[in-house]
Amino acid sequence: MLNERPLAHILRPKNIEDFVGQEHLLGENGPIRNLCEAKQLCSMILWGPPGCGKTSLVSLLEHYWELPIVHLSAINSGVKDIKNIVKNQTGLFQQQQIVFVDEIHRFNKAQQDAFLPYVENGDIVLIGASTENPAFSINSALLSRTRVFTLRALSKENLKQLVYKALEYLSASQNGIFKIEEAALALLINQSAGDARKLLSNLEVAAQITNQTPSKPVNNKAGTELFKIDANIIAKASGQSIASFDKNGDHYYDILSAFHKSVRGSSCDGALYWYARLLIANSDVTPICRRLLAIASEDIGNADPRALQICLNAWDTYHRVGAAEGERAIAQAVIYSALAAKSNATYVAFKKAKRLASEHSRADVPVHLRNATSKITQDLGHGKDYQYAHNYEFSIAPNQQYLPDDVELEPLYEPSDRGYEKQLAAKIEFLKQVQAQGNKV
């Protein structure tokens, strides 16, 4: 073992200048930098993906504000723990303190409400860390008493800085010099996906592997060994890269949204990539197939009516043959849908139809379209003057009214000039001409 403490903890920044990433918050005139330098207290929610520096930022605030910090975990803390914090600080030498709640979105409404009076009175400075959108996961009352700062996943350049900082530390603390090959560096950064904690954890394991098999003594430093980290060592240290996410969280729906928009935008490669991302995160295929069916009607529509059936068939195939072959069948539907002609004319037409129906929800059915189900309704003229379509050429009744009297006729479905909708547009024009002529069989 190289260190008793994790590398991510050892390299935690001691001041603003050491902090890697989050330049929009800690750079010149950045809001959190200003709070630190002015020692201005502020309850806040830090929202960002795992490994972006939320906990390190809290340590930084503790250092600059010079206040004690109490750590709470939303996983194993409750209202009693919250009240005890304030109870324990009463007395002659009462001092304000920072309460840091990791995973604050996991607190229920009652637990979040328990903070309100103490934050309101300034008894505590509350800092919550969340990977979920605070707008949906934090009570509005608590949200109004805090500032929300959004942290970003670290860039590749940020991660590269961290790697070199870590190698410098490892070289100084061990009897040797640690170096990393370019291919290994690229693999390490890609595997980390913006997560500094994951990056440093994988690098630490790689250093432990390398430490067991040093390359050779460095010529200009007698007795100093060179430890070279290559791509194979990084692959061993990282293991299989598994993308995971909370199926009820923003990230899941962001991936699903990217999948939908890639298919809509006819990006075959993008659609397959996001589909594979959903699969390797052990996502159920049901929401994927549902989304495909939605795409088939919303974004493809009658430009290629076969898309709807192909997506249904792929879903059915999955249940008939299992995941291995079924996932491939869904991939086939993804490719077909991405490359199919696109039209949202059905989607637009249906929205217009619902709006029209809502505006005229009590409009009477035209008498000629009603059924004469009894002598009374016959006497009322139900069905009178109805033109039976099959009595006319092309089965089209001339100038027959199909909307209520007080509903202005407006074109609801306006097909595009793409795919099969070209033919449908021509058919609509043909129907207009035939209806005007009214040739009876």
Same-domain check for residues 394 and 318: no
What are the φ/ψ torsions at residue 99 (nearest 5 degrees)? -115, 115
Structural domain ending residue among the three candidates 122, 150, 178: 150
Same-domain check for residues 163 and 143: no
Output the pTM of the full model: 0.61
| Residue 251, pLDDT score | 73
Same-domain check for residues 203 and 254: no
Of 312, 293, 291, the residue nearest 301 (C-alpha):
293
pLDDT tens digits for range 373-392: 888 888 788 888 888 888 88
**In a domain? residue 115:** yes
**In a domain? residue 8:** no
> Stretch 7-18: mean pLDDT, rounded?
87
**Strands across the sheet containing 147-150:** 69-73, 97-102, 124-130, 44-47, 147-150
pLDDT band at 346 (very low <50, low <70, confident <90, very high): very high
Structural domain ending residue among the three candidates 176, 205, 238: 238
pLDDT band at 441 (very low <50, low <70, confident <90, very high): very low
Same-domain check for residues 110 and 181: no
pLDDT tens digits for range 296-316: 999 999 999 999 999 999 999
**In a domain? residue 171:** yes
CATH number at residue 103: 3.40.50.300
| Residue 91, pLDDT score | 46
Q: Spell out the residues 6+ positions from residue 363 whose beta carbon is closer than 8 angstroms to its own.
A: 404, 405, 406, 407
CATH number at residue 297: 1.20.272.10
String of DSSP letters for 292-326: HHHHIIIIIGGGSTHHHHHHHHHHHHHHHH-HHHH
Output the average pLDDT for the chain.
Answer: 84
Structural domain ending residue among the three candidates 150, 176, 202: 150
Same-domain check for residues 379 and 329: no
- Its domain, for residue 322, covers 250-339
**In a domain? residue 386:** yes
The domain total for the chain is 4
Same-domain check for residues 274 and 296: yes
Kindly report the three-state secondary structure assignment for every residue of 268-298. HHHHHHHHHHHHHCCCCHHHHHHHHHHHHHH
Q: In terms of pLDDT, which residue wins out, 95 or 191?
A: 191
pLDDT tens digits for range 122-181: 778 889 998 888 888 888 888 888 999 999 989 889 999 999 999 988 888 876 788 888
